[in-house]
């Protein structure tokens, strides 16, 4: 099996999650099972959910936010409640990685968890350290810290020119 990497898609531009999904589809085409864990995302429309469900079992998607709205739009009480769900989702993803349940795991908007102070760079470091050599991790989000940049094998900055 091929050596896995830590790949990051970040920036203000659109398409980071789409790029990660494309990578997951490529991995599934190569016989890997891919898991997508989503954080801080607004609930998708029914059409998107139906489409993603058709990719199962090769690509499994788990959304850990329970609220309908984006995290930034929640009240303080809702944020506290949602924070527990999101951190639990991170721990689920870490377990998937460390047990080798999947060799391709997307952590969609995980950089936002760091930015919001819900998880630490040290937790990301521990996640990376726990991955088997053949496992690929994909991280997405708007803001990339220098520490996480240094942990990554590949970094893609997604911007909009117009």
Residue 124 belongs to some domain of the structure:
yes
Count Cα atoms within 13 angstroms, Cβ side, for 40.
Answer: 21
Q: Is residue 88 part of a domain?
A: yes
Q: How many structural domains are present in the chain?
A: 1
Largest CA distance in the chain: 46
Residue 46 lies in a domain: yes
CATH code at position 153: 3.40.50.300
Kind of pairing between the strands at 136-141 and 59-63: unpaired
Residue 53 confidence (pLDDT): 83
Q: What is the pLDDT of residues 74-98, one digit of tens each?
A: 888 888 888 898 999 999 999 999 9
- Determine the Cα–Cα distance for residues 70 and 54; give it in Å rounded to an integer: 25
User: What residues contact residue 82 under an 8 Å CB cut-off, 6+ apart?
Assistant: 65, 66, 67, 71, 74
Question: pTM above the 0.85 mark?
Answer: yes
* Pairwise CA distance, residues 140 & 138, whole Å: 7
Which residues pair with residue 157 across a beta bridge? 10
Reported as a single tens digit per residue, the pLDDT across 15-37 is 999 999 999 999 999 999 999 99
Domain hosting 15: range is 6-157
Query: Residue 1 falls within a domain, yes or no?
Result: no
């Amino acid at each position: 099996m091929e050596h896995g990497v830590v790949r990051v898609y970040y920036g203000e531009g659109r398409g980071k999650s789409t790029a990660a999904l494309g990578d997951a589809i490529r991995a599934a085409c190569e016989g890997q099972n891919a898991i997508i864990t989503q954080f801080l995302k607004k609930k998708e429309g029914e059409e998107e959910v139906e489409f993603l469900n058709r990719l199962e079992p090769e690509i499994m998607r788990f959304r850990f936010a329970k609220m309908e709205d984006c995290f930034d739009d929640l009240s303080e009480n809702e944020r506290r409640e949602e924070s527990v769900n999101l951190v639990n989702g991170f721990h689920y993803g870490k377990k998937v990685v460390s047990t080798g349940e999947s060799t391709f795991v997307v952590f969609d908007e995980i950089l936002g968890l760091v930015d919001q102070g819900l998880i630490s760079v040290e937790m990301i470091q521990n996640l990376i350290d726990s991955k088997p050599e053949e496992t690929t991790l994909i991280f997405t989000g708007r803001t990339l810290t220098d520490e996480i940049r240094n942990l990554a094998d590949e970094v893609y900055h997604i911007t909009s020119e117009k």
